[in-house]
Amino acid sequence: MTNPTHTNLPIRADVQAMRAYAVADATGCIKLDAMENPHPLPPNLQTQLGQRLGQAAINRYPHQQTEQLKKALAAHNQLPADYGVVLGNGSDELITLLATAVLTTAPAMQAAQQHGNTIQPAAILAPQPSFVMYQLAAQFLGLEFVGVPLDANFQLDVAAMLAAIAQHKPALVFLAYPNNPTGTLWQADAMRQIIATVKQHGGIAVVDEAYQPFSPVTWLDTLKAQPHDNAHVVVMRTMSKLGLAGARLGYLFASAYLANQIDKVRPPYNISVLNAECALFALEHHAQFSTQADHICQERSRLEAELRQIAQLQLYPSSANMLLVRCLDTANSADKIHANMRKNGVLVKNVSTMHPMLHNCLRLTVGTSEENTAMLAALKASL
Ligand SMILES: *Cc1c(COP(=O)(O)O)cnc(C)c1O
C-alpha cells in the first residue's frame, strides 16, 4: 500500500510493495488455522505458572533464566556435550539469525576481491511449497532464494534438490521435517543424500522440527548416531506447536562452534524472563504437553479416516498437527469452501494462493475432538 504523503520516505521499494503477514480475525470462530495446541493450561497449572511469573525478576535483564533454559533443553534432549543451544523469540527469529550469520555483505565481497578471491553472495535453498519464512528471511536480508519444487505427492524431488545444491552452493538449506503446509515427513534416505550434498558444497543444513511433538521421528537421533555426517546440521525446534505459541520460544541445537557463531548475531536479550520461565515450566510439566500431543495425533488419525471418505477431497499424508486437503470439485473452490466454513464458525487456512502447487488446497489444524467434529460438519456442509 503506498501512502501518497509518505512515498519519499527511505523505506525499501520491495518492502513498500509487500503485504504485512496477514493474521485472520478468528473472533467467534473455532480457530483451526495456525497449528496451535487447542488445549489450554489446566487451572492448577495456570495458578502455579502465575505464581512463578509473579516472582520473576522483571526488573533485571534476562540472563540467569535463559542460561537455565538452555541447560534444561540440552538435558531434556540428551544433547551431546560438544553441542550448543541458541534461543530465539520463536523459531522465526532463529531463521533470521541464521540468514544474518551467513550474509555476504558487499564490503566483504570487495575485501575478498582485493585479495584476489571471489566470494559468491550467499543463497538460501528450500523445497517448495514449504514454510514461507525461509524465503522472507532471504528477501529481507537480500540473499538469493532458490525454491526447488516438491514432486506431485509433495515428497522431496531428490535429484532436483541435489542438482540445485550443486549449482547454487547455498549457505543454508532448510528442510522442514515434517513440512508445513503439506505435513509431509521426508524419507530418511532422501534427507541423508541432501544433507551429504550440502556438506560437500560447504553449506549448513537446517532441519526445522517445528512439528516434532507430532512426528514419529526426530533428526536429532540420526545426528547423535552419525555425528560426523551431521556436523554441519542445525536442528531447530519451537515450543509453539506444543502449546506455547503465545510465549514465543524457539531453540536450535548445533555443534558448539556453530551455535557460538549464530549466538553472536542474536540480540542480547531476545528472550524475556517471562518467555524463559514459561518454557522452563513447560519442560517441567512436559508429560502434560506430551499427553495432549498424543491426543492430537489420535485425532489426526480419526480426521484422516473421515476425510478419506469425502470424494470431493484429496487428502495428503501428515506427520504434523495439520492436514492438507485439495478440493477436487472445481465448481466448489477452496475459496468458496473456506468462506462457507467460516460462515459456519470454523476458521481454517486457505493456502490456495501460497504456491501454484497448492491450488485449491486448505490446511486444517487438528483441534480438540469437539472442534474436529464441528470442523468436519462445517466442511461437509460447505462442499
Ligand atoms: C510454525 C513454524 C515455525 C515457527 O514457529 P515459531 O512460533 O516462530 O516458533 C517454524 N517452522 C515451521 C515449519 C513452522 O511451521
In eight-state DSSP terms, residue 158 is: H
279 in Cβ contact with 293 (< 8 Å): no
Query: Which ligand 1 atom minimizes the distance to the CA of 130?
Result: 13
In the prediction, which pLDDT does 7 show? 66
pLDDT for residue 2 is more than 60: no
For cell 511449497, name the residue: 129
- Name the helix (H) or strand (E) containing 49: helix 43-55
In the prediction, which pLDDT does 5 show? 61
Distance CA 209, CA 203 (A): 19
Say if strands 123-128 and 172-176 run parallel, antiparallel, or are unpaired.
Answer: parallel
pLDDT tens digits, 128-171: 999 999 999 999 999 999 999 999 999 999 999 999 999 999 99
Residue with the nearest Cα to atom 12 of ligand 1?
A: 210
In the prediction, which pLDDT does 3 show? 57
In the prediction, which pLDDT does 114 show? 87
Q: What is the CA radius of gyration of the chain?
A: 22
pLDDT tens digits, 224-255: 999 999 999 999 999 999 999 999 999 999 99
pLDDT tens digits, 46-73: 999 999 999 999 999 999 999 999 999 9
pLDDT tens digits, 141-152: 999 999 999 999
3-state secondary structure of 348: coil
In the prediction, which pLDDT does 192 show? 98
Give the distance (Å) from ligand 1 centre to CA of residue 260.
Answer: 22
Give the distance (Å) from ligand 1 centre to CA of residue 123.
Answer: 21
pLDDT for residue 179 is more than 70: yes
Query: Which ligand 1 atom minimizes the distance to the CA of 181?
Result: 15
Cell of 365: 489444524
Give the distance (Å) from ligand 1 centre to CA of residue 182.
Answer: 14
Whole-model pTM over 0.85? yes
